[in-house]
Chains A and B, each alone.
Chain A
Amino acid sequence: MAHFTKATSIKDWLNQRLAIEKVEKVMASEYWIPKNINFLWAMGMVLVITFTMLLVSGIFLLMYYQPNVNLAFDSVNYTIMREVDFGWLWRHVHGVAASVVFLIIYIHMFTAIYYGSYKKGREMIWISGMLLFVAFSAEAFSGYMLPWGQMSYWAGMVITNLFSGGSLHADGLVEWIRGDYVPAQAFLNRFFMLHVLLVPLAIIGLIGLHFGALRIPHVNNQDGEEIDFDEESKKYLAGDKAGSKVIRFANDFMSKDMLVVAIYLVFFFYLVFFHYDFAMDPVNFDPANGLKTPTHIYPEWYFLWSYEILRPFSTNIGLMAFAFAQVIFMLLPFLDRSPNTVPASRRGLFKYWFWAMLIDMIVLTAMGKVPPIEPFGTIGFYAALTFIGLWIALPIITMFEKKA
């Protein structure tokens, strides 16, 4: 049995039982971060803060929301918006954060792609990150159902219909997912459950995995340099702080992280107070009506690129292209055949691949927003082909990449 002595302080008492000093070292003061990084490395913390805001605002919304097809719309648009003191604040924080979190996720993703932070032992960071993206997508979709407006209903109809698998015609599966022939009470209730319990649990678990995946390979840096973290941290602890390539996570790196967070929060609350409408589709302020399709159905902006990959093709090919788009980012560490872990700017053809992919996704996003008329249909079609083509080209161009 472990030996316990009379505690000299509360801290000592806790330390004997929970080793809090050791935990603090492992998690913060002796968790080492490279010095050679920039503000893009703060996106992880920005995401943590945004997720926390989603959780807190969600808790308050949950206290008044009614998951019932007859009451849901009014519980959001009347009870929460008009009766509950500051109910509007929780709703707008929740809506804006749900939208902005994807903007940050995309920046976080493309930062990783640019600096090669998915290679050389960092594959699990990338994969767990992409699983988080999938979980966040499920969370965003299930949450979008809850106000039970026209867009909720019809997005629910269209997305659940994807599971019929085109010509496979698996209507039984679609009805099983809905619990009804059309989205109705059973559907709303189960997506409510998914939104407030199952998917958030998965997200929290995956965040744990994502952080855990960072421990061994450590954070990448601006030059993709392989740093000996043991060596550099010894140097730092011995007093050579200037010569060491690493700093403590807390409070040293955290202080910069939190400065970026502060700037972000100013932007975030500017949106919450003055431009929340961008995250609130006007069509969703009409109650759900199963007998009337809105004239133009489109998803929220963060799903537009994958929606546009589905749209220009016939059903089966569209579904295959869509499925391809959903999983292909997950495979990035294995499709990139080059051993170079350096910024894209020093990687020959990959530099052009990176920018082409980024621009193509912006084009797809824009084309997904406009109605399916010419010339947008054609532009969208070629942008979708470009997306698929770029992924097919990736292993080839990286295989012939020169060692940097």
Chain B
Amino acid sequence: MKDNSRRGFMGKAFGAVAGVGAVASLYAMKKSWDPLPSVKAAGFTTLDMSAYKENELVVEKWRGKPIFVLKQSKEMLDTEGENMSKVTGKTTATIDKTRLIKVGDAHYMVTIGLCTHLGCIPGYNPDKKSFLCACHGGMYDDTGMVTKSPPPRGLDIPPFKIKGNTLVLGEEGPEYKKMKETGITL
């Protein structure tokens, strides 16, 4: 009995030491897999918005991800109402303007160019003014709003800040914060 309680104590003492050690090493292991500071720090991309042409998709790069920049033509802004989302059943007209970024007098679609389904890069068809993801057949209109599932939402908008005629990606400006609050992007 006496021996048992001594052994029991030793067992508990070992258990306590091993438990602390296990939690501590799991924490270290978790942290070792985190993105490195150099990876995190790399990357504010500045885009000169005056260089883009209407209805011509340009792919920029930010934190290793493709960024779609599509300057809207007058026609694209006018025909917004024709885009019907098959996901929400509503026209995207109401959402359209809110998804675009106004720099100077022009409107731009600036999104992360990865399908919100599983991260493939959708292709742009300038005639149909829509994006098609070849992986699983998802589609988006010319503002990046989803028009055909499986993507659960429109193309994500990267954090941005408008500085004169340029756009800084990675910084959160007031326009971006508003988009986040209203649920335009995640």
**CB <8 Å contact, A181 and B63:** yes
**CB <8 Å contact, B35 and A158:** no
| Chain A contacts with B in 158-208, Cβ cutoff 8 A | 158, 161-162, 166-167, 169, 175-182, 184, 186, 190
A 136-174 to B, binary, CB cutoff 8 A, 1 in contact else 0: 000000000000000000100110011000110100000
**CB <8 Å contact, A297 and B117:** no
**CB <8 Å contact, A293 and B134:** yes
**CB <8 Å contact, A181 and B150:** no
Contact residue range for chain B? 20 to 34
**CB <8 Å contact, A180 and B120:** no
Stretch of A234-242, A265-273, A307-315 at the chain-chain interface: A307-315
Residues of A with C-beta under 8 A to B118: 157-158, 161-162, 315
Residues of A with C-beta under 8 A to B123: 293, 295
Q: How far is the CA of A161 from the CA of B151 in the complex (A)?
A: 13
| Chain A contacts with B in 282-320, Cβ cutoff 8 A | 290-297, 311, 313-316, 318
Q: How far is the CA of A377 from the CA of B137 in the complex (A)?
A: 10
CB-nearest residue of chain A relative to B121?
A293
Instruction: Count contacts on A: residues with CB < 8 A to the other chain.
Output: 37
Q: How far is the CA of A167 from the CA of B152 in the complex (A)?
A: 8
Residues of B with C-beta under 8 A to A161: 118-119
CB-nearest residue of chain B relative to A296?
B134
**CB <8 Å contact, A181 and B65:** yes
**CB <8 Å contact, A190 and B64:** no
Q: Among the listed A169, A178, A182, which residue makes an inter-chain contact with B186, where contact means beta carbons less than 8 Å apart?
A: A169
Residues of A with C-beta under 8 A to B180: none
Task: Judge whether B36 is part of the interface by a CB distance below 8 angstroms.
Answer: yes
The SS class assigned to the B binding surface is loop
**CB <8 Å contact, A175 and B35:** yes
Residues of B with C-beta under 8 A to A217: none
CB-nearest residue of chain A relative to B186?
A169
- Of the candidates B30, B33, B63, B123, the one having the most CB atoms from chain A within 10 angstroms of its own CB is B33
The SS class assigned to the A binding surface is loop
**CB <8 Å contact, B64 and A297:** no
Residues of A with C-beta under 8 A to B39: 179-181, 184, 186
**CB <8 Å contact, B134 and A297:** yes
**CB <8 Å contact, A292 and B120:** no
Task: Judge whether A224 is part of the interface by a CB distance below 8 angstroms.
Answer: no
Task: Judge whether A58 is part of the interface by a CB distance below 8 angstroms.
Answer: no
With known contacts A161-B118, A175-B35, A314-B152, A291–B134 Cβ distance under 8 A: no
Task: Judge whether B61 is part of the interface by a CB distance below 8 angstroms.
Answer: yes
Residues of A with C-beta under 8 A to B59: 291
With known contacts A161-B118, A292-B121, A190–B33 Cβ distance under 8 A: yes
Q: How far is the CA of A111 from the CA of B132 in the complex (A)?
A: 42
With known contacts A181-B64, A182-B63, A291-B66, A316–B136 Cβ distance under 8 A: no
Task: Judge whether A395 is part of the interface by a CB distance below 8 angstroms.
Answer: no
| Chain B contacts with A in 19-63, Cβ cutoff 8 A | 30, 33-36, 39, 59, 61, 63
Q: Among the listed B61, B66, B119, B134, which residue makes an inter-chain contact with A295, where contact means beta carbons less than 8 Å apart?
A: B134
Task: Judge whether B149 is part of the interface by a CB distance below 8 angstroms.
Answer: yes
Residues of B with C-beta under 8 A to A176: 30, 33-35
Residues of A with C-beta under 8 A to B95: none
With known contacts A182-B63, A182-B64, A318-B150, A372–B120 Cβ distance under 8 A: no
Q: Among the listed A179, A311, A316, which residue makes an inter-chain contact with B35, where contact means beta carbons less than 8 Å apart?
A: A179
Q: How far is the CB of B121 from chain A (nearest CB, A)?
A: 4
CB-nearest residue of chain A relative to B67?
A291
With known contacts A154-B120, A169-B186, A291-B66, A314–B149 Cβ distance under 8 A: yes
| Chain B contacts with A in 139-186, Cβ cutoff 8 A | 149-152, 186
**CB <8 Å contact, B119 and A157:** yes
Q: How far is the CA of A315 from the CA of B122 in the complex (A)?
A: 16
- Of the candidates A181, A290, A316, the one having the most CB atoms from chain B within 10 angstroms of its own CB is A181
CB-nearest residue of chain B relative to A154?
B120
**CB <8 Å contact, B36 and A311:** no
**CB <8 Å contact, B134 and A179:** no
**CB <8 Å contact, B152 and A166:** yes
CB-nearest residue of chain B relative to A169?
B186
28 contacts between A and B (CB under 8 A): A154-B120, A158-B119, A158-B120, A166-B152, A169-B186, A176-B30, A176-B33, A181-B35, A181-B63, A181-B64, A290-B65, A290-B66, A291-B59, A291-B61, A293-B120, A293-B122, A293-B123, A293-B134, A293-B135, A313-B150, A314-B150, A315-B117, A315-B149, A315-B150, A315-B152, A318-B150, A372-B136, A377-B137
Residues of B within 8 A of A (CB): 30, 33-36, 39, 59, 61, 63-66, 117-123, 134-137, 149-152, 186
